[in-house]
Structures are given as structure tokens and as C-alpha cells.
Structure 1
């Protein structure tokens, strides 16, 4: 029995060592570089986006949000943010690595970049809270 346990342990160690030779795969692969999405605009009376956005589950994306400072505006999307993994939020060159997000808000003009991995397929939206117009939201599909 002792001999079997040693043989099994040696086999597992050998398997782990040979798996390391293949490098990272999938989400962690060097080929899964961040894809930039169309910039979302926060400005009084202007549409947030030019149209719907389609994402692929497992891919890294960079979303830039620009506010012109014409009003204090936010984007909310709890369902979207709960179905992606947010790697970082960059504001004025400062990186924040949050556990999660529900919304973001601009009190003045500025730019924010959110890097994330799309996880769960579905239909989501980011919208200006309290708005009712279709141009004040962006539909996001994760396939």
C-alpha cells in the first residue's frame, strides 16, 4: 500500500510539472488581451452610446467612460457588474481594484476606464439612473 501511495504521488508531481510546460490557457492566456470597446459618453442631452454592445464570455475588455461635466451624471448596472469580473478601474491615472461595482458617478468632467472579463452570458444594460429615454442607456449582450 505504501508503494502504491508513493507511485501515485510521483505521478501527480510529474503531471503537475509537465502541465506547467504548456503555460497559461483560456482567460489567463497571452492571446486574451484587452479589447477596447466604444467609449460611453455622459453629457446632458447626448446619447450614452451609438448602439448596443456585444461581448464574448471569457474575454478581457476595456470600457472607457467620458463625462463632459455638463451635469452630475452616473451609470448604473448592477446586473451587468455582477456578471463580469472587474479587474481594475482607472481614474486620473489611479488604479482601483474593487471587489465589485454597482454604479459609477462623475461629479465633474473626466475619464474612467474599467477593465473587466465578461463572465455570464445574458442581456444587460448600463443606464443613467432615473432616465427613461433609450438613448440614456446602452444594451450589452454577453454571448
Structure 2
């Protein structure tokens, strides 16, 4: 193949690839993250109550989720498949901002809160729960479209 033909074919392949990728991308990461309703673990009346059992999310969109422990008991918040399917931008707890690639568990031993900033990358349904308290109703799902 001559240079001109090779150049044109390479350019065409690049344009098709980029247009295909951009048609799959959702969201605009240059905007502020969408604040989700706080996920509150326990209340004074019911230490095993969750404020929300389901969150509807979209791939490629930035979100902020505050998880609040009522301090009524110890809570070990886990969502292993969800954490593996997101891009974690940062985690804030207390006066700290933690930049990490992944989270395994958020353990609350007393009244406290943590905020996670993330972008869902993979569609699907992903369970979240307070470890050991699932049978008491402390479980829910992140649904990502």
C-alpha cells in the first residue's frame, strides 16, 4: 500500500473508533457530582433501619454519596461488586480526604459519616449491606444503567 492510502485508512479507523467510544460514554465529568440522598444506617427507633434500599445510577456520571452511621450499633458497610465496578475519585471521612483506588469496607464503630465520590463504570445490579445484619434488613442495591 502506498503512504497516502495507508494514511487515509488509518485516519478512517481512528475516526470510527473514537465515534464508537463517544457514543457509549454517558455523563459529563466536568460538572459537579450529583448528590445522592444520604444513606443512613440505623435510627434511634430502629438500629437496623436503612434510609434507602435502592439507588438508581448511570454509567459515566459523577456521584457523591454520604453514608451516615447513627451510632446505634457497629456497622460494617460492604458492597464488594459495586466497589469493583466504579472509579473511586475520593473518600472523605472526618477531616480527611483519602485518595484510593478501591474500598473493601467502611466500618463505623460509633456515630460518624463518610462521603464517597465515584463514577459508575459498569451497568448492573450490585448489592450493598451491613455485614452480619442482612437478615435484619440492612441490605439494598445499586442499580446502574
TM-score, length-scaled by structure 2: 0.74
Identify the residue that residue 30 of structure 1 maps to in structure 2: 30
From the superposition, tell whether residues 132 and 46 of structure 1 become closer, same or farther in structure 2 (CA, over 3 Å): closer
Identify the residue that residue 77 of structure 1 maps to in structure 2: 79
Does structure 2 conserve the Cα–Cα contact (< 8 Å) formed by 1:49 and 1:138? no
Q: Which runs of 5+ in 2 are unaligned?
A: 8-24
Question: How far has the Cα of 1:69 moved from its partner?
Answer: 1.4
TM-score, length-scaled by structure 1: 0.75
Q: Distance between the aligned counterparts of 1:29 and 1:87, measured in 2?
A: 11
Q: Distance between the aligned counterparts of 1:26 and 1:53, measured in 2?
A: 18
CA RMSD of aligned residues (A): 2.3
Identify the residue that residue 120 of structure 1 maps to in structure 2: 122
Q: Which runs of 5+ in 1 are unaligned?
A: 9-24
Does structure 2 conserve the Cα–Cα contact (< 8 Å) formed by 1:49 and 1:135? no
**3-state DSSP class of the match of 1:98?**
coil
